Amino acid sequence: MKKLLLLFSCCLLIQTAQAQFPMGGATPQRKALPGTADDNTPKGNSKITGFVVDSSVTKAVEFANIALYNKATNKPVDGTVADDKGKFTLSRVAVGEYKILVTFIGYENKTIDNIKVEKGQDIDLGVIKVNSKTKTLDEVTVTGQKDLIEEKVDRLVYNAEKDIMAKGGDASDVLRKVPMLSVDLQGNLSLRGNQNVRVLINNKPSTIVASSVADALKQIPADMIKTVEVITSPSAKYDAEGSGGIINIITKKNSLQGLNLTIDSGVGNRGSNLSLNGNYRKGKMGITLGGFGRANYNVKLKGFTDQTNFESNGSTTRTYQDFSGVNSGLFGNYNLGFDYDLAQNQSITAGVRYGARNMLNALDYKTDSYINNLINSTVYRDVDTKNLSGTVDVNVDYLHTYKKPQQEWSVSTQYSRNDLTNDFISNDRTGTNELLFRQKNINHNLNQEFTIQTDYQTPIKKNQMIEFGGKGIMRTVNSDYQYLFGNGNNPLTQSPKQPSGALDYNQNVVGAYTSYTLTTKNKYTIKAGTRYEYTTIEASTREGGNIEIPNYGNLVPSVNISKNIKGATWKVGYNRRLQRPGIQQLNPNINAANPQNIMIGDPSLRPELTDNAELGYSKNFKKFYLNAAFFGRITNGTITQVVQANDTLAGGVLTTYQNIGSERAVGTNLFGNLAITSKWNIGIFSNIIYNSLRGMAPISGGKSEFVENSGLNIGGGFNSQIQFKNGWGAQGFAFIQGSQVQLQGRRGGFAFYSAGVKKDFKNKKGSIGLAGENFLTKSFNIHTNLSNSQFTQVSDIHLFMRGVRLTFSYKIGKMTAQAPRKKGKSVNNDDVKSGGDGMQGGAPAGGSTAPGGRPR
């Protein structure tokens, strides 16, 4: 595989060189293109600008073709392409009379006539509205479907606003349908089988995401998501962290003049939601105010764990544990935003966002203990866990644009704070309900972060762009924890076996980058850059004093090349990424809610480094759109969750995190979309990954042993959507994920499916919908096997995910179009490894994730 990748890279580089510098013989003659340096058309000093907008939804038409015609000769004299915001600029226009032709696949041609340019005069055409084209069956292409999946040089864009079942769901419901992504039944997110992804919201980090990606997705309403950007090969502009890649969730915004109010609500057997979002814009000023609340209930689970430990004296201890429980939660997300145009080329944006999470979990355990296959004891335990979080993000951003198109400078700042509480209280009883002892763990975390960054970009000629910038991040995390213990009905007191403690962790990151983009006339786009980051860490615990963690610097290069060949787009990319440990991996608090599966972090963890390479291909075949990617990655010093036999508790295990060995992965992602008619499309996707993991894993007695495991991870599914007359629509989705390779075994697969219908009101201001999830299946079972030389563990977890919900949405207000504003820049911390679900093997550790998130 290495040889194949090396051969492909060499061939591509040779092809690139030959395309730009032909070797041998005379230079071939090329026909001059309008608007290029070879064009002999007379030039002037005037400029024509405008914005291309879809007339039906007042949305920018990205990359529309603009042709300038001489009115007298009716011949094209210049041309350009609109950017991703619909804006175009024709520079160096000579004096004369012209007309402009706007074209784009899927839209009717638009002509703007009678354009008269005087000497030294600049003309702003403002908003140019184009109408969608209705095609007959024979004329159907996948243009509409390609809008669902957009290809860019360094990312894939999924237009989630087309999802008719989004109402009433959360972000995990949307991300399940995005190619290359996988969201399991606990909400844990992975990209190409790698959970080390960074999730951004509107290009910004948030401590909502920092503590737990799975919990954060529950706080983001699905119907507020406009697009999801999957950045598998991030450029140097992005932070070096996120070894698996970056996922950027873009929420819906409004740039129209006037007042708008949207009400969304939903009710179901497992959850209900209500959101209210308002926008007001007048002239240079815009204000947004929104709130979202969601309640989850009737979320049940049950299962068992069967574990055998092989003791050093030759005996065996076995525990068989049944568990069942119910989870409930309240989630909220509230935001206030403000933007103001200081001048035609200057703007300022500011925002405050508050997120709340209140999760309650109740689990009952029955644990039978055996010694040499003879029953020794039976203990019943009930555990109540509270996972509470309050997050505040405040940002102020400034953007300055220049007369030269795409030249801009920005300064962005952000302060984030997350207060996280993760407590549990447990009661152990005999079979006759006699109270044996009680235990309580109190763990409070305070995560804070301040970020300042500046970015500058400027085009060089018409086909080149250079970018550079700098960034500073200051993070602090404080974790205080204590254990209380009581026999029978005695008062709870400080536990002598598990004393209280605290972790103070300060992390500062300084980074700088430069990036260069070149678009050649033979349709190559090359984007290359490098970033350097230097990290300093100061850490200490109350009980152990200072922790020696060395400072480190990292140089992370990246290069992305795309080429259009006969209607197909080929892409190749390479980047180096790093992954710093999150607070869940660092936190030394002992989570013993389930004594058979104790979890603890390691404050001395080091970052892991990953080298990624990928080859991508996409093309339209009339009614069918195909997107394929082939990738490989090598990770050293992998931060891995490992399980070992517990020295202090017979039949139990201790789960922790360590930098263990390496991971190798190669795989492919395939996505296809078929437009059966102009109103009906079917999408299919698959993920096939081969993983190989190896390293030294700890075992009891302070020893280590060499462990390796490898195998295939396979998943796939389909998504179909159809539009009927009179505003009716229907959609279906199904996904299945096979078992997944882990260092010490395999974790079981799962499935998920849903279907729904929606009816738009005649005035297009509202809708009502009905959707069901897993409605034919009572529960799903996740079967996991783990083992090493000292223990074997088999576990089943049954998740009850059957659900149905009724949704309603309505818009109030009247708005008018204006030229799209230049989007403000913002802080973009694509950063740090978030925690997993704490369920690698065995029963849940108290029914919730361990405390944490990244160091803030």
pLDDT (tens digit, 9 = 90+) per residue, 464-476?
Answer: 999 999 999 999 9
Q: Show contacts of 700-707: CB within 8 Å, 24+ apart.
A: 700/644, 700/645, 700/646, 700/647, 700/790, 701/312, 701/647, 705/788, 705/789, 707/660, 707/743, 707/744, 707/788
Mean pLDDT of 739-762: 89
| Residue 659: C-alpha distances to residues 258, 642, 685 (Å) | 55, 10, 33
Provide the pLDDT confidence category of residue 63 given band limits of 50, 70 and 90: confident
Residue type, 451: T
Tell me how crowded residue 154 is: count the other CB atoms within 10 A of its CB: 22
Which residue did the predictor score with more confidence, 40 or 262? Answer: 262
**What is the SS3 assignment for 86?**
coil
Residue type, 623: K
Residue type, 820: P
> Which residues are registered as beta bridge partners of 36?
none
94 pLDDT higher than 50: yes
- Dist. CA 797–CA 306, nearest whole Å: 12
Scanning the structure block, which residue is given the tokens 């399940």? 176
Provide the pLDDT confidence category of residue 520 given band limits of 50, 70 and 90: confident
Break the chain down into helix, strand, coil percent, rounded to 5: 5, 60, 30
**Helix/strand number for the chain, H first, E second:** 6, 47
pLDDT on residue 410: 94
Phi, then psi, of 497 in degrees rounded to 5 = -80, -30
Give the count of alpha carbons within 13 A of 805, CB side only. Answer: 28
- CA 117 and chain centroid, separation: 47
Which residue did the predictor score with more confidence, 295 or 4? Answer: 295
> Which residues are registered as beta bridge partners of 306?
320, 794
Q: Which of 661-670, 792-801, 806-815 has the lowest mean pLDDT?
A: 806-815
**What is the SS3 assignment for 138?**
helix
Q: Which helix (H) or strand (E) holds 10?
A: helix 2-20
Is the separation of the CB atoms in 362 and 383 below 8 Å? yes
Mean pLDDT of 22-36: 32
pLDDT on residue 206: 61
**What is the SS3 assignment for 848?**
coil
- Dist. CA 115–CA 415, nearest whole Å: 49
695 pLDDT higher than 80: yes
- Dist. CA 597–CA 618, nearest whole Å: 46
**What is the SS3 assignment for 812?**
strand
pLDDT on residue 715: 92
- CA 378 and chain centroid, separation: 44
- Dist. CA 671–CA 530, nearest whole Å: 31
Q: In sequence order, which residues have a C-beta less than 8 Å from that of residue 251 and are 6 or more positions away? A: 201, 202, 220, 224, 225, 226
Buried b (16+ CB within 10 A) or exposed e, 463-488: eebebbbebebbbbbebbbbbbbbee
Which residue did the predictor score with more confidence, 190 or 710? Answer: 710
Tokens coding 225 = 């998501």
242 pLDDT higher than 60: yes
- Dist. CA 408–CA 455, nearest whole Å: 8
Q: Maximum distance among all alpha carbons in the chain? A: 100
| Residue 599: C-alpha distances to residues 112, 129, 591, 652, 657 (Å) | 67, 58, 5, 11, 9
Phi, then psi, of 739 in degrees rounded to 5 = -65, 150
On average, the pLDDT of the chain sits at 81
List the one residue out of 72, 120, 60 whose CA is nearest residue 93: 120
- Dist. CA 700–CA 739, nearest whole Å: 28
| Residue 205: C-alpha distances to residues 191, 200, 471, 479 (Å) | 18, 5, 14, 21
834 pLDDT higher than 80: no
Dihedral sign for Cα atoms in the order 175, 179, 185, 191: negative
Mean pLDDT of 788-799: 90
Is the separation of the CB atoms in 420 and 448 below 8 Å? no
Which residue did the predictor score with more confidence, 657 or 842? Answer: 657
pLDDT on residue 16: 34
**What is the SS3 assignment for 727?**
helix
Q: Which helix (H) or strand (E) holds 175?
A: helix 171-175
Decide the pairing of beta strands 316-343 and 346-371. antiparallel
> DSSP assignment of 126-169, as one string?
EEEEEPBPP--GGG--SHHHHHHEEEETTEEEE-GGG-TT-TT-
Q: In sequence order, which residues have a C-beta less than 8 Å from that of residue 725 and are 6 or more positions away? A: none
C-alpha triplet 43, 46, 51: angle, nearest 5°: 115
424 pLDDT higher than 80: yes
> DSSP assignment of 346-404, as one string?
EEEEEEEEEEEEEEEEEEEEEEEEEETTEEEEEEEEEEEEEEEEEEEEEEEEEEEE-SS
Range from 153-167, 708-722, 838-852 that averages highest in pLDDT: 708-722
Q: Percent of the chain scored above 70 by pLDDT?
A: 82
Q: Percent of the chain scored above 90 by pLDDT?
A: 30
18 pLDDT higher than 70: no
Mean pLDDT of 339-353: 89
Task: Burial-class residue 38 by CB neighbours within 10 Å (0-12, 13-18, 19+).
Answer: exposed
Provide the pLDDT confidence category of residue 843 given band limits of 50, 70 and 90: low
Which residue did the predictor score with more confidence, 3 or 755? Answer: 755
Phi, then psi, of 585 in degrees rounded to 5 = -75, -25
pLDDT in tens, 285-314: 888 888 889 899 988 999 999 998 887 777
pLDDT on residue 144: 37
Which residue did the predictor score with more confidence, 139 or 309? Answer: 309
- Dist. CA 672–CA 734, nearest whole Å: 15
Is the separation of the CB atoms in 68 and 93 below 8 Å? yes
Is the separation of the CB atoms in 705 and 789 below 8 Å? yes
**What is the SS3 assignment for 764?**
coil
| Residue 147: C-alpha distances to residues 160, 161, 177, 789 (Å) | 10, 11, 15, 52
pLDDT on residue 542: 84
Phi-psi region of 347 (alpha: psi -120 to 50; beta: other; left: phi over 0): beta
Tell me how crowded residue 516 is: count the other CB atoms within 10 A of its CB: 18
pLDDT on residue 408: 92
Q: Which of 82-91, 159-168, 440-449, 784-793 has the lowest mean pLDDT?
A: 159-168
Total residues found in the chain within this entry: 856
Scanning the structure block, which residue is given the tokens 């005999």? 430
Buried b (16+ CB within 10 A) or exposed e, 624-646: ebbbebbbbbbbebbbbbbbbbb
The pTM of this model reads: 0.72
Residue type, 770: L
Q: Which of 202-206, 306-310, 398-402, 435-439 has the lowest mean pLDDT?
A: 202-206
- Dist. CA 709–CA 694, nearest whole Å: 6
- Dist. CA 61–CA 43, nearest whole Å: 28
Residue type, 758: K
pLDDT on residue 336: 92
List the one residue out of 532, 508, 454, 458 whose CA is nearest residue 239: 532
Provide the pLDDT confidence category of residue 150 given band limits of 50, 70 and 90: confident
